[in-house]
Amino acid sequence: MKILVVGGGGREHALCWKLAQSPKVRKIYCAPGNAGTAQIAENVPLAIDDIDGLLQFAEHQAVDLTVVGPERPLIAGLVDAFEAKGLRVFGPSREPALIEGSKAYSKELMRDAGIPTAAFAVFDDLGAARDFARSQAYPLVIKADGEAAGDGVVVARDFEEARIALHAMMEQRVFGASGDRVVIEECLVGEEASVMAFCDGETVVPMVAIQDHKRVFDDDQGPNTGGMGAYAPVPSMTRGISDQVAQTILQPAVEAIRRTGIPYRGVLYAGVMLTADGPKCLEFNCRFGDPETQVALPLLETDLADVLNAVVDVELDKAPVTFAHRSAVCVVMASGGYPGPFEIGKPIHGLDAASKMDAVAVFHAGTATREDGQPVTSGGRVLGVTATGETFVEARERCYAAVHRIQFEGAQFRTDIGKRAIQAP
């Protein structure tokens, strides 16, 4: 098989890495890729939203399957365009991808399908939103409806903070059209988990539950980022709770989407809060998570190409999907200053030594190859260093030993990834 992976972050490197292990996969292309994917795939200089360019490339190279990493091309209708040309593609089509593209759509779907979630209201008018916010208990959560690069959520401690957030989104339009509509919702309390599931429109196969670390500094301090690390499995996600997530969140969502006439095929990602009243859905994403994928795939025992094909062929009920009973920890190494301004072009050293370590995989995110062959930093999140082990203690030790072998100027990373799993009762 020839596979095209769309994207250029740690998630896509992990997808290429896992697909490269399949005896059925003969060639992998990655568009646009990074210095890591270049070692196992052929990077193609096409942007993720150049749908026409990607389509022409896939047709010309007779690609057997295209796998889409980021949400943007999914929400823009890449899957619809590929399917219209008879090309095989893994990911939801434009309309079901709205489950991530519009928070109002997603919340209304949750309500209609009876999925447990925070109480909410949707507003298109600033005055009405402000009046509603004034009448609510605090803290209160304010969300821009559309895509806001993970930034469109404000947990307001009091009405003044809510007022400022609403003004910024709806009047100043700091997220552009994404903030013309807002969702105001109840603040949920509990531990968060990411539950991704393979879905073929009918069958739902959840992956191992994962905990992401969104804040930039240890102990969840500092501003939000795209994700500074992850671990799996989540100890508090017992078998019973995980069945509850599948039965009350994932399956009803897939069922509700199927009733609209367009089945959900791809990965459905539920951000879940484990509250005292049981698991509740915070949000849905229409794709593999990043860095979640960097801990999920090293634990996946099944051939990923088989799973992706089973989804596209609507045969997931016949495909075995198993995860190793091991622990995985991924630490993201970021550029100094991230998520604020940072410099790029810093040479990265020690990659080979770290990659050669037992049960370690170094996934590239924001990296590029200089003309002389030297890998250099090219983004905020630079690398995702993943290690697995029999226990979290072992996985963490391995992971940080690998991290310490890698150097680039200004490198920053959290030192507490996976610690919570060790401390869990």
Q: Which is nearer to ligand AMP, 75 or 361 (CB)?
A: 75
Binding flag, residue 185, ligand AMP (CB under 6 A)? yes
Smallest distance, ligand GLY to C-beta of residue 292, A? 6
Q: What are phi and psi of 201, to 5 degrees?
A: 100, -20
Closest to 365 in 3D by CA, of 387, 350, 385, 336: 385
Kindly give, in sequence order, each residue whose CB lies less than 8 Å from that of residue 169, ignoring residues fewer than 6 positions away: 142, 144, 152, 175, 178, 179, 182
- In whole angstroms, the minimum distance from the beta carbon of 64 to ligand GLY comes to 26
Instruction: Sort 110 into a burial class: Cβ within 10 Å, 0-12 / 13-18 / 19+.
Output: buried
| Of 194 and 309, CB closest to ligand GLY | 194
141 lies in the site for ligand AMP, by CB under 6 A: yes
Residue 416, strand partner residues? none
Task: Count CB atoms within 10 A of the CB of residue 310.
Answer: 21
Number of residues engaging ligand AMP in binding (CB under 6 A): 13
Cα–Cα distance, 280 to 233 (Å, whole number): 18
Residues 343-372 that bind ligand AMP (CB under 6 A): none
Bridge-based pairing state of the strands 367-369 and 375-377: antiparallel
283 is a contact residue toward ligand AMP (CB under 6 A): yes
Q: Are 273 and 280 in contact (CB under 8 A)?
A: yes
Shortest spacing between CB 406 and ligand AMP, in angstroms: 28
Say which entry of ligand GLY, ligand AMP, none residue 141 contacts (CB below 5 to 8 A, set by partner kind): ligand AMP
Binding characters for ligand AMP, 150-179, by CB under 6 A (x = yes):
---x-x------------------------
Q: Which of 282, 296, 329, 417 binds ligand AMP (CB under 6 A)?
A: 282
233-252: contacts with ligand AMP (CB under 6 A): none
Give, for 249, the enclosing helix (H) or strand (E). none
Q: Which of 308, 186, 316, 313 is nearest to 250 (CA)?
A: 316
Contact criterion met (CB below 8 Å) for 294 and 331: no
Q: Which is nearer to ligand GLY, 381 or 405 (CB)?
A: 381
Which residue type sits at 223? P
Smaller CB separation from ligand AMP, 12 or 145: 145
* Closer of 146 and 389 to ligand AMP (Cβ): 146
Two tokens, residue 152:
């469109």
* Residue of 271, 336, 350, 410 interacting with ligand AMP (CB under 6 A): 271
Q: Quick one: tokens of 166?
A: 């609403």
Which listed option, ligand AMP, ligand GLY, none, makes contact with residue 282 (CB within 5 to 8 Å by class)? ligand AMP
Comparing CB distances to ligand AMP, the nearer of 185 and 200 is 185
Interface contacts to ligand AMP, rule CB under 6 A: 118, 141, 143, 153, 155, 185-188, 192, 271, 282-283
